[in-house]
Amino acid sequence: MEKIISKNPSAVAEGFAAWLAERIVPGKAFHLALSGGSTPKILFAHLAEHYQNKISWADLHLWWGDERCVPPDHADSNYRMTKELLIDHVGIPSENVHRVIGEADPTEEAQRYGAEIDRIIPQKVGLAAFDLIMLGMGSDGHTASIFPHQMELLESKETCVVATHPESGQIRVSLSGPVINNADAVAFLVTGTSKTEKVEAIFSGSEESKIYPAAHIAPRGELFWFLDEAASA
């Protein structure tokens, strides 16, 4: 596990953007699963402004690590946020944008999206192997849309699963734990003081951390934590 600490969320986004650009090799497909959240908003805007001609966008395939089950124009849609801040401003071919159909039946869509992932993304050890999965972490220790009350999703045999937000009841489609842990690389982007205690528990390997889904992300490939000073304090 490698930790990269930057001063604030903007610096985290800038550092991650430069790191990401180096990993995308022109002429080779790169499968990236995105996350939602405040830091990705900063990241996507930064990429659109500063990396239009520095990344081989035609080789990049965008997927979503999780999505709210809402239409693509809904304010809660991770796809909408990404489209408005990034996709509309760079040269990503439309066929390379693989959105979760949030307006569809959640169970059917989890199966459909999982089948699309399995069909397109190369497999390693019998599972789809993303080149990179971006993750955030909630103040409750959840990641993607795997929450502490649904720890079984960390071991699901399905590529995608249906998850429920514990407070709002909102239904979501998420990558399962085994698929996340089969990625060539996983990168957490975590910022803010609300995450400090969880970060400390996870890094120390405390008994408390076992109830946090984020603590169970231990990919077959590389693991990176991009943190700001507040989260890493």
What pLDDT does residue 162 have? Answer: 98
What pLDDT does residue 192 have? Answer: 97
Prediction pTM value: 0.97
**Tokens standing for residue 85:** 């801040």
What pLDDT does residue 20 have? Answer: 98
The Cα 140–Cα 138 span in angstroms is 5
What pLDDT does residue 180 have? Answer: 98
**Tokens standing for residue 210:** 């076992």
- Tens of each residue's pLDDT in the chain, 233 residues: 999 999 999 999 999 999 999 999 999 999 999 999 999 999 999 999 999 999 999 999 999 999 999 999 999 999 999 999 999 999 999 999 999 999 999 999 999 999 999 999 999 999 999 999 999 999 999 999 999 999 999 999 999 999 999 999 999 999 999 999 999 999 999 999 999 999 999 999 999 999 999 999 999 999 999 999 999 98
The Cα 131–Cα 95 span in angstroms is 18
Tens digits of residue pLDDT in 126-171:
999 999 999 999 999 999 999 999 999 999 999 999 999 999 999 9
What pLDDT does residue 227 have? Answer: 98
Contact 85, 53 (CB under 8 A): no
**Tokens standing for residue 102:** 């949030």
- DSSP, residue by residue, the chain: -EEEEESSHHHHHHHHHHHHHHH--TTS-EEEEE--SHHHHHHHHHHHHH-TTTS-GGGEEEEESEEESS-TTSTT-HHHHHHHHTGGGS---GGGB----TTS-HHHHHHHHHHHHHHHS-EETTEE--SEEEE---TTS-BTTB-GGGGGGGG-SSSEEEEE-TTT--EEEEE-HHHHTTSSEEEEEE-SGGGHHHHHHHHHT-GGGGG-GGGG---SSEEEEEEETTTT-
